[in-house]
């Protein structure tokens, strides 16, 4: 070998080494105090007692450590945790540690001194009743009404309020857990457990998560739950009152799993179960591994809102398998997932449904762009120093999907599917940044020479506000038809009697109602309500849009139903806009304040916090 080749070989080895080392570990996460490049956690063994009377979890968290820098301390994130003691082993001496003052967004830094040779630590701790990642629901907030319910919501940075951890998606760990509950209740976690499916008469549940997960996927629910299988590797946890309805709603789950598997590779998590939460759950769904947590507001009775299942399932690839490295890269989780969700819906229910939902999503994006400040409209925004929960707008979801949709349209499905499959396979079990995506895009698709990608400026998508000119705007004939009806009917060109509402799907209703003017005359509201019983409609999404319209139009016949809806449901997307609309009314502030006063104790801290800021006029 000549010298030139030897130099090339050495250069190549250095490059590969640097690029391997720079993966994950060196990515700085502005939303965590942890320094995983010095000491990182590898495995968690959790032992929890659930005390509903005190609204407290008491626990032992045993972390095994990877001490890359043997002189460094261990740094964990905590928020409002009472640390009782920290030891290397159960009967050993206490390890010295310090907890920094609490930051309202980030909590505290817990710094633990590590003597030589110590490779695991055991933290004895208690949570606070107002832990931001837990909701302790009273019996009145459940379907059965006679037992309490507890659930966690760790994403984005709330795991630290119930488990001392390196609360950053750059860090992955496996976990096992033992959870002790009242034997009348059942415990479920984001991990495989035979116990959860059968129930335990002694109330002691064991869990094993053998796949490495980031902390935001740590999850726990405890309640009067029952389980019903719905497929070879799927089932539903719900209160007995809702179990049958939920099982019927989710029968297509196995078909959905297979639809993704055939395109992007095998499902990696063993089982895929769904858990129906009380209506106060602030989100639609949460992709906790092995068991998706879902709001009961998607139980429409006609499978019309199961795109949420498609979405949370898709996260098993985009998010849980290939994870955003920081919350700035959130679009890699949500944009990819929203894109895959659309493909699942199309596979299962046909292209018309796919087009329809993609177009609805695009319209939501346009509406959101009017509200969100320009810097936060970038796919790669800067949330350093701010609460990552504030980055949860339609932008990462729908602008992200639009970018991928554009790639699909330009490259053709086959080429793009291969690209996506490669992305999931090559990055499996890794945390990835937007820069990783750009590098992958350049390597695999060669945009400089690829004619199909001519004029597509990835930098514009990532770093500029708004939607790039080059975007492919989704169209849906079915939606266009509804928009047309909406215009004709509201302008008096068409009579209420001539609307074929009996044949309309949920999506038809959403399109029709969304495109009506802000306000309608009471006469039209009354006619439509009489024809289609909208005020009594049980579909939570349709009811939401109808109530918005009713508030703006001053259609007081829907007031009582609106107020009941607002106090029963805590899903942020469904209640916050209703409060906003009420606040715009002449006497709105008084009505909104009274409603919030009554409903507040039933809301999750996340929804309550958003509403408090609304009522104070902050946002
Ligand atoms: N992972 C999100 C929920 C989330 C994001 C919670 C960020 C906290 C911080 C979940 O997958 C999601 O996107 N849920 C949506 C439903 C979906 C169908 C768009 C929701 O809850 O509205
Ligand atoms: Zn999502």
Atom of ligand 1 nearest to the CA of 295: 21
Which atom of ligand 1 has the smallest separation from the CA of 341?
18
Catalytic residue flag (residue 312) = yes
- Cis preceding-peptide flag for 467 (omega within 30 of 0): no
Alpha-carbon distance of 165 to 171, in angstroms, equals 10
| CB 50 within 8 Å of CB 57 | yes
Measured in Å, residue 496 CA sits from the centre of ligand 1 at 37
Q: What angle do CA 128, 130, 134 make, to 5 degrees?
A: 95
Measured CA to CA in angstroms, residue 421 lies from 165, 173, 433 at distances of 32, 24, 18
Nearest ligand (C-alpha, residue 390): 1
Residue nearest to atom 18 of ligand 1 (CA): 308
CATH architecture group of domain 229-306:
2-Layer Sandwich (3.30)
CB distance 286 to ligand 1 below 6 Å = yes
In the chain the first and final C-alpha atoms are separated, in Å, by 67
- What's the gap in Å between 165 CA and the centre of ligand 1? 22
Whether 220 contacts 47, CB under 8 Å = no
Indicate which ligand has the atom closest to the C-alpha of 159: 1
The answer on pLDDT for 24 being more than 70 is no
Residue 41 CA, ligand 1 centroid: distance in Å: 26
Cis status, amide bond into 156, omega within 30 of 0 = yes
Residue 219 Cβ contacting ligand 1 at under 6 Å: no
The CATH number of domain 497-615 is 3.30.420.10:
no
CA distance 595 to 580: 12
Residue 541 in contact with ligand 1 by CB distance below 6 A: no
Nearest ligand 1 atom to the CA of 338 is: 19
The ligand 1 atom nearest the CA atom of 315: 11
User: For the chain, which residues make up each domain, given as ranges?
Assistant: 31-224, 229-306, 322-463, 497-615
Atom of ligand 1 nearest to the CA of 283: 21
Reading the block at residue 203, the tokens are: 């109330």
What's the pLDDT score for residue 18?
A: 40
Query: What is the best residue among 334, 365, 381 to mutate for testing ligand 1's pocket, by most ligand atoms within 8 Å of CB?
Result: 334
User: Among 237, 264, 339, 397, which one carries the catalytic annotation?
Assistant: 397
**541 given a catalytic annotation:** no
Name the nearest CA neighbour of 115 among 134, 101, 95: 95
Q: Are strands 149-152 and 173-180 parallel, antiparallel or unpaired?
A: unpaired
**Ligand 1: which atom is nearest the Cα of residue 334?**
13
What spacing in Å lies between the alpha carbon of 301 and ligand 2's midpoint? 23
Q: Which residues are paired to 178 by β-bridges? A: 47, 206
Would you state the pLDDT for residue 534? 98
Q: If we measure between CA atoms, which residue out of 135, 120, 127, 291 comes closest to residue 205?
A: 291
Q: Which CATH architecture has domain 322-463?
A: Orthogonal Bundle (1.10)
**Least confident stretch, 152-161, 185-194, 609-618:** 609-618
Q: Is residue 309 within a helix (H) or strand (E), and if so which, with residue range?
A: helix 307-314
Among the bound ligands, the one closest to the CA of 570: 1
- What is the model's pLDDT at position 591? 95
Neighbours of 314 (CB within 10 A): 26
Q: Which atom of ligand 1 is nearest to the CA of 389?
A: 9
pLDDT at 4: 64
Q: Which ligand is nearest to the CA of 307?
A: 1
Indicate whether 17 pLDDT > 90.
Answer: no
Q: What percent of the chain has pLDDT over 90?
A: 94
Any ligand 1 atom below 6 A from CB of 311: yes
Q: pLDDT digits over 166-182, tens only?
A: 999 999 999 999 999 99
Binding site membership of 231 for ligand 1 (Cβ less than 6 Å): no
SS (H, E, C) 499-527: CCHHHCCHHHHHHHHHCCCCCCCHHHHHH
CB 125 within 8 A of CB 84: yes
Confidence grade of residue 27 (pLDDT, cut at 50, 70, 90): confident
Which token pair is 350? Answer: 């046909």
Name the catalytic one among 239, 249, 287, 312: 312
Q: Is the pLDDT of residue 616 over 50?
A: yes
Closest residue CA from atom 2 of ligand 1: 286
pLDDT value of position 559 = 97
The CATH number of domain 31-224, selected from 3.40.1160.10, 2.160.10.10, 2.60.40.1730, 3.40.190.10: 2.60.40.1730
Ranges assigned E (strand) in 214-363: 220-223, 226-231, 234-238, 272-276, 285-286, 291-294, 322-324
SS3 content of the chain, % helix, strand, coil (to 5): 45, 20, 35
Ligand 2 centre distance from Cα of residue 398 (Å):
11
Among 441, 438, 367, smallest CA distance to 397 is for 367
Is ligand 1 within 6 A of the CB of residue 508?
A: no
Name 107's bridge partners. 103
Q: In whole angstroms, what is the distance from residue 88 CA to residue 62 CA?
A: 9
Q: d(Cα 121, Cα 493) in Å, to the nearest integer?
A: 73
Can you give the C-alpha Rg of the chain in angstroms?
25
pLDDT interval class at 414 (50, 70, 90):
very high
Ligand 1 pocket mutation, candidates 285, 314, 333, criterion most atoms within 8 A of CB: 285
Label the pairing between strands 204-213 and 173-180: antiparallel
Tokens of 311: 């979405």
Q: Is the pLDDT of residue 9 over 90?
A: no
Average pLDDT over residues 304-308: 98
- Span from the CA of 243 to the centroid of ligand 1 (angstroms): 23
| 223 alpha-carbon distance from chain centroid | 21
Q: What is the 3-state secondary structure (H, E, C) of 542-580?
A: HHHHHHHHHHHHCCHHHHHHHHHHHHHCCCHHHHHHHHH
Residue nearest to atom 22 of ligand 1 (CA): 284
- Model confidence band, residue 15 (pLDDT cutoffs 50, 70, 90): very low
Does the C-beta of 88 come closer than 6 Å to ligand 1?
no
Give tens-digit pLDDT for 343-380: 999 999 999 999 999 999 999 999 999 999 999 999 99
Q: Is residue 110 within 8 Å of 82, Cβ to Cβ? A: no
Gap from CA of 335 to ligand 2 centroid (Å): 8
Residue 400 in contact with ligand 1 by CB distance below 6 A: no
pLDDT category of residue 26 using cuts at 50, 70 and 90: low
**Per mean pLDDT, which range of 30-34, 257-261, 435-439, 600-604 is the poorest?**
600-604
Ligand 1 pocket check for 315: Cβ under 6 Å: yes
Enter the tokens of residue 344.
Answer: 């699942």
Q: What is the pLDDT confidence band of residue 222, given thresholds at 50, 70 and 90? A: very high
The answer, yes or no, to whether residue 576 has pLDDT greater than 60, is yes
Closest CA to 321 of 290, 362, 348: 290
Measured CA to CA, the distance from residue 123 to residue 180 in angstroms comes to 18
How much is the pTM? 0.95
Same fold, 229-306 and 497-615: no
Q: In this predicted structure, what is the pLDDT of residue 617?
A: 83
- CA torsion sign for 141, 144, 148, 153 is negative
Of 7 and 615, the one with more pLDDT = 615
Q: Is the pLDDT of residue 419 over 50?
A: yes
Is any ligand 1 atom within 6 A of the Cβ of residue 360? no
Mean pLDDT of the chain: 95
248-296 per-position pLDDT tens digit: 999 999 999 999 999 999 999 999 999 999 999 999 999 999 999 999 9
Atom 3 (ligand 1) nearest CA? 286
């Amino acid at each position: 070998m000549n010298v030139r080749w030897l130099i090339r070989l050495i250069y190549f080895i250095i490059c590969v080494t640097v690029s391997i080392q720079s993966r994950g570990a060196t990515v700085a996460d502005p939303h965590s105090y942890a320094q995983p490049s010095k000491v990182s956690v590898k495995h968690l063994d959790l032992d929890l007692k659930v005390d509903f009377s005190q609204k407290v979890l008491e626990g032992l968290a045993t972390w095994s450590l990877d001490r890359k820098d043997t002189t460094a301390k261990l740094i964990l994130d905590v928020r409002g945790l009472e640390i009782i003691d920290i030891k290397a082993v159960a009967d050993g001496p206490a390890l010295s540690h310090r907890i920094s003052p609490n930051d309202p967004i980030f909590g505290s830094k817990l710094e633990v001194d590590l003597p030589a040779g110590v490779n695991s630590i055991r933290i004895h701790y208690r949570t606070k009743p107002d832990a931001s990642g837990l909701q302790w629901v009273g019996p009145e907030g459940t379907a059965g009404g006679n037992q309490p319910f507890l659930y966690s919501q760790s994403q984005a940075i709330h795991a630290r309020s119930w488990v001392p951890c390196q609360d950053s998606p750059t860090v992955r760990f496996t976990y096992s857990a033992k959870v002790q509950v009242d034997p009348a209740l059942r415990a479920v976690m984001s991990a495989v457990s035979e116990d959860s499916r059968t129930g335990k008469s002694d109330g002691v549940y064991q869990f094993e998560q053998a796949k490495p997960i980031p902390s935001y996927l740590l999850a726990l629910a405890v309640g009067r739950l029952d389980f019903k299988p719905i497929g070879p590797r799927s089932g539903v946890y719900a209160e007995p009152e809702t179990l049958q309805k939920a099982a019927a709603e989710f029968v297509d789950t196995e078909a959905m799993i297979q639809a993704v598997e055939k395109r992007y590779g095998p499902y990696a998590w063993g089982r895929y179960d769904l858990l129906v939460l009380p209506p106060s759950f602030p989100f639609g769904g949460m992709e906790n591994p092995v068991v998706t947590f879902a709001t009961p507001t998607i139980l429409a009775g006609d499978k019309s809102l199961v795109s949420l299942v498609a979405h949370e399932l898709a996260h098993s690839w985009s998010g849980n398998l290939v994870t955003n490295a920081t919350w700035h890269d959130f679009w890699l989780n949500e944009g990819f997932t929203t894109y895959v969700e659309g493909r699942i819906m199309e596979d299962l229910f046909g292209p018309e449904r796919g087009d329809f939902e993609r177009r609805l999503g695009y319209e939501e994006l346009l509406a959101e762009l009017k509200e969100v400040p320009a810097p936060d409209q970038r796919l790669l925004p800067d949330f350093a120093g701010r609460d990552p929960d504030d980055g949860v707008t339609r932008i990462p979801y729908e602008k992200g999907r639009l970018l991928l949709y554009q790639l699909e349209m330009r490259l053709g499905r086959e080429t793009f599917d291969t690209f996506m499959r490669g992305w999931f396979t090559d990055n499996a079990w890794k945390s990835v940044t937007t820069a990783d995506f750009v590098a992958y895009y350049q390597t695999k698709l060669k945009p400089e020479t690829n004619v199909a990608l001519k004029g597509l400026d990835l930098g514009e998508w990532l770093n500029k506000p708004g939607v790039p000119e080059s975007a492919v705007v989704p169209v849906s004939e079915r939606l266009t038809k509804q928009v047309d009806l909406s215009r004709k009917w509201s302008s008096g060109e068409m009579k209420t009697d001539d609307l074929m509402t009996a044949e309309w799907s949920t999506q038809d209703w959403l399109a029709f109602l969304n495109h009506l003017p802000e306000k309608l005359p009471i006469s039209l509201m009354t006619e439509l309500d009489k024809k289609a019983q909208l005020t009594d409609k049980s579909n939570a999404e349709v009811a939401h849009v109808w109530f918005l319209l009713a508030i703006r139009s001053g259609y007081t016949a829907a007031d009582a139903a609106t107020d009941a809806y607002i106090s029963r449901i805590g899903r942020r997307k469904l209640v916050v806009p209703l409060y906003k609309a009420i606040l715009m009314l002449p006497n709105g502030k008084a009505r909104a304040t009274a409603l919030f006063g009554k409903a507040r104790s039933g809301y999750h801290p996340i929804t309550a916090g958003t509403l408090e800021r609304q009522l104070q006029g902050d946002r």
